[in-house]
Chain A
Amino acid sequence: MISSPLLYCIVYPALCGVLLLVVGNRIKWLREFLLVLASGINGYMAWALFQKSGESVAVALPWAGFGLDFTLRLQHFGGFILLAGAGFGVLISLYSAVFMREHRHANQFYAYFLFSLAQTNGVALADNLVMLLFFWESLLVTLFGMIAIGREDAWKTAVKALVLVGISDVCMMVGMALVGSLRGTLSLNVLTQQGVALDGLGGLAFILLVLGAVSKAGAIPFHTWIPDAAEDAPLPFMALVPAALEKLLGIYFLARICLDIFKLPSAPDNWACHFLMILGAVTILIAVMMALIQKDYKRLLAYHAISQVGYMILGIGTAVYAGIIGGIFHMLNHALYKSCLFLSGGSVERQAGTTDLKKLGGLKAQMPLTFICFAVAAASISGVPPFNGFYSKELVYDGALSRHVLYYVAAVLGSFLTAASFLKLGHAVYFGKLAEENKKVKEAPAAMLIPMIVIAGLCVLFGPWNELPLKTFIYPILEKAGVEYHTCHGPIPHQMMLVAGTLIALVLAALNHRYGVKRTGVGVGASEHIHHAPVLGWFYDKAEKRWFDPYEVGMKVLRGGSYALFYLDRFICWLSDGLAAGLTYLASAIIRWSHNGSCSRYVLWALAGAAILIWYVMKSA
């Protein structure tokens, strides 16, 4: 049975997760061993499957009927996601095995880790939209579990994440139902062949599906749980889920929506493209503005995780060859450098005991390898040549500039701010004065360094040798989707003007940093002049108070609504228990009072009654 490997790579990690739950926390080394072994085997299976992804491998089992079939299909893009997810799984499992060892719920975390890998494989392989939704939604469960076992109050953040992602998933579910009813099928393969038009219900379905996909990737407006989770959840979770797996899955599905189902590149002047590009540009700018003023290592990274999604959405939204390639390439690059950054943050947290930028500083000498990895990843995210982020950003700029100059400006402005905030972060953590209590901080253990070094190495490798990932992974995707090869683009970097723009932005960022540091004297204060700028200051103030957080605002509205309903309920209760009962007892008291025991009164009542009765009968007869 050729199809069985597809099933294995979903069932196998899940079974290992169950085994971890059963093993419990008694035998410490066994848990870590099982985790790394399972992730490793998962990685091997993904690699083996990716080799086969050129052939059309599928498994179809009868399931619920009504077009809800258990269909898995291995195609090239899915294989790529499978391999990338499994690769991060291997590296981060190694890191977690050290980082989480002392945690009281370590076995749960490991189990959720493996479940997440299984679900990711499921999403990447699912051909039926309902199957895809099943794996997609079940990621919520492990997401909730992994956040909730973090800090003391982490369950609040877990609920927030569950609600926000749940809402966006409901949007996606409705979108899937609309597509299914429009085309009469839920099979991605068939939908890819038929395509769906973008008018009327199709357009609505597009918007709903995109909302679901980009929210999984972490774009606004459903992003606000990520910075909170960065503080509350265990760090490997951040490196694995929001930085790597969710980007991979969200952008994977976004690309499939845009390229396969709605076929945006065939009509690039569509409103849908502008919708995506505006969403991307806004995400870039707002999230990076927030990132700039953060004073916590992990929180700052979390805002960048949101901001960088904007580039991917912008790139895919351009619907031109260079832009789409840039968007998908950026997805891969972002997963690399962002997980590396989170891992470096985890090392600092583990060794120095804090991630508060005001308490850190001067760690360059103490943790040289961590610093180098951080520096590579930071340069990469800021788009410094020749690291991998530079190349994917250039491609996105190319696509954006070919659509409208404003999109390009927004993207470059985002780059400027990204560079500025990473200069601030690096300065605050690794340079400057070493705090007294950090004198004894040592380099992180080898098992944590190895993943960082491997990922940082890939960041360097995918820079100059960008042809390697592009040819292996990304070109075939567009080939399959039938996007025409764009002649404007040769070997990267292909347009010196774009490169010049990037370099100017980087230089400006450096100057800005110098100015900020001079003004306050410390690295962490490098962005204070922007934080407290006249108009921006007001917005920052309100954003810090969570005025713009849809979850917090929604909760306030709900609380107001529930108060209103509570008083309505009290009022209805008063109507029945107060007013009605009061009137009843009043009537009862009047009747009792009128029965005073006087026989003559009773006789008079009877006689009066008889008189009325007889008068009435006589009259009507």
Chain B
Amino acid sequence: MKEAMNLPNQLILLPLLAVVVVNLPLGLRWAAMLGGVFFSIYQMWTMVFLPPLETGFFDLQIDGLSRVLLLSIGLVAFVSILAARGTIRDKRERFYFYNLVLLAMVGMNGLVMVRDLFSLYVFIEITSVASFILIALRRELDGLEGAFKYLIMSAVATAMMLSAVALLLLATGETSFAKVAEQMRLGGSGLPVLAAGLFVAGLLIKAGSVPFHGWLPDAYMAAPNAASILLGGIVTKTTGVYALIRLMQDGMFGTGMSPVLLLAGAVSIVAGALAALGQRDFKRMLAYSSISQVGYIVLSLGTGTALGVVGAVFHLFNHAVFKSLLFVNATAVEDRAGTRDMNQLGGLAARMPVTGFASVVALLSTAGVPPLAGFWSKLVIIVALYKSGHPVYAAVAVLASLLTLAYFLSMQRRVFFGKLREGLEGVKEAGWYVLVPTLALTLITMGVGVLIPWMFGSFVLPMEKF
């Protein structure tokens, strides 16, 4: 029994248990939020200190990569739950929201710890289903449309991934990462390669890389604000990008996949940034920005080198922090000013100084301005690209930073700077449920950047070895 409650199992079972308990007719519905907050804090706590090497059900294991992801999941879930408490007015909706976040955590925690393709697929589906409902939570037309698009595209992805698993089972008789990787190394051609291609295409849909990204802007924009934080901050990163990183790291693709990833990454960066430039909806712009930033991660992964993987994971973590922060800011703005249309906003920094400052920090980190966190991960990515002999892609990565800066500065100017728009005089700073996550994420962004020598030695580099 003690065996059964080791850390990997806890991370799956505790949230599941919480969902079951608060839904039993015991009058414990009020405990849902507390459960979520405590569990996410517990998850972060255990991940900051070196987790023990234990194996749970379905061969669940925590290694360096999983550790970074689990930490990010705990952080974003924590932020998302607090933001939901602050911005979702309907009590029942709020209760559903906490339950769904806990379920999504079950899925995400599971998928970053599993060691075989089929379990990976199952946990991805758990996360996705929770996400569909989160998007449609308000049962409005927008939300339903966004959820529908995500559902349809996910179905395509599911079909691809499931057939890939089937093909692999047919060809090798195995689904565990290690065994499949061994088979691929022995001379993969024909069926295994087809399976790998299908699986990657499915993951790219989940990750929202161009041209598989159609669902993403609508889903992010239509979801309730607190759900957008979760989706944009971590869900697509675990379901899509993490899985890609894991499979790449375990050597399941061979070398043939590198050019594909490089191209998809570069196209995503540029197209996402260009699309973001033309948006007037705050959250839709952030959605396109996510596409662009995912492009960086995929591009880094495409190098196929250890440094590239490190850069990808580091950027993934940073992206979870700063993109959550930006979504939190968008949440605060919409909650107080009543609109997300950037053309109808202006001068809010005077009324919402903390949010305005946090937004500056987040956008500078995204654009890769030193000494903030985003600069260092982009630096690692560019160095990895250059060292692996892709100077052109490195140049694209550098130049796209200009586009990033362009659309973010335009956002900052239209929303926070300049003269206060008429009708916004009564706007107040966001409440504490929003400000606490804002401050926490701002501090992390700045802290990771400033303490980079220590961060690099103790978190980023051990990812490979641990």
Contact = CB atoms under 8 A, between A and B. Distances in A.
B160 A610 contact: yes
B227 to A, nearest CB: 20
Nearest to B218: A597
The 6 nearest A-B residue pairs measured at CB: A602-B214, A610-B201, A614-B197, A588-B278, A617-B197, A621-B193
Interface stretch (B50-58, B101-109, B252-260, B308-316): B252-260
Given A595-B275, A599-B149, A605-B214, 14 more contacts: A589-B278, A595-B217, A602-B149, A602-B214, A603-B156, A606-B205, A609-B201, A613-B201, A614-B194, A614-B198, A614-B201, A617-B194, A617-B197, A618-B194
A579 interface: no
Interface string B265-281: 00000010011011100
A585 B277 contact: yes
Interface string A168-198: 0000000000000000000000000000000
A592 B271 CA distance: 10
Contacts of B452: none
Given A588-B275, A588-B277, A621-B256, A606 B212 contact: yes
Contacts of B160: 610
A19 interface: no
B189 interface: yes
B214 A595 contact: yes
A598 to B, nearest CB: 9
A69 B193 CA distance: 82
Contact of A618 (B148, B193, B212, B406): B193
A321 B193 CA distance: 103
Interface in A562-621: 584-585, 587-589, 591-592, 595, 597, 599, 601-603, 605-610, 613-614, 616-618, 620-621
A584 B274 contact: yes
Chain A contact patch, size range: 20 to 34
Contact of B256 (A585, A592, A602, A617): A617
Contacts of A599: 148-149, 152, 214-215
Q: Among B152, B200, B215, B277, which residue has the most Cβ atoms of chain A within 10 A?
A: B277
A602 B150 CA distance: 10
7 contacts: A584-B403, A597-B218, A603-B152, A603-B214, A606-B201, A606-B211, A610-B198
Contacts of A620: 256, 259
A597 B152 CA distance: 13
Interface of A: 584-585, 587-589, 591-592, 595, 597, 599, 601-603, 605-610, 613-614, 616-618, 620-621
Contacts of B211: 605-606, 608-609
A241 B189 CA distance: 95
B188 interface: yes
Contacts, number: 92
A621 B403 contact: no
Nearest to A594: B275
A617 B193 contact: yes
Contacts of B277: 584-585, 588
Nearest to A597: B218
Contacts of A614: 194, 197-198, 201
B196 interface: yes
A202 B65 CA distance: 74
Given A585-B278, A597-B218, A621 B254 contact: yes
Contacts of B264: 609, 613
A591 B200 CA distance: 24
Contacts of A603: 152-153, 156, 214
A591 B279 CA distance: 11
B304 to A, nearest CB: 14
Given A597-B218, A614-B194, A587 B274 contact: yes
Q: Among A589, A592, A614, which residue has the most Cβ atoms of chain B within 10 A?
A: A614
Contacts of B260: 613, 616-617
Contacts of B213: 602
B204 interface: yes
Contacts of A607: 156
Contacts of B149: 599, 602
Contacts of B205: 606
Contact of A606 (B156, B256, B259, B274): B156
Contacts of A589: 278
Contacts of B148: 599
Contacts of A605: 211-212, 214
Nearest to A615: B197
Nearest to B254: A621
Contacts of A613: 197, 200-201, 204, 260, 264
A216 B156 CA distance: 88
A95 to B, nearest CB: 64
A38 B188 CA distance: 102
A602 B189 CA distance: 30
Contacts of A597: 218
Contacts of B153: 602-603, 606
B371 to A, nearest CB: 27
Contacts of B204: 609, 613
A602 B193 contact: no
Nearest to A619: B256
Interface string B363-380: 000000000000000000
A387 to B, nearest CB: 78
B257 A617 contact: yes
Contacts of A616: 256, 259-260
B333 to A, nearest CB: 22
B341 to A, nearest CB: 15
A614 B259 CA distance: 12
Q: Among B152, B215, B278, which residue has the most Cβ atoms of chain A within 10 A?
A: B278
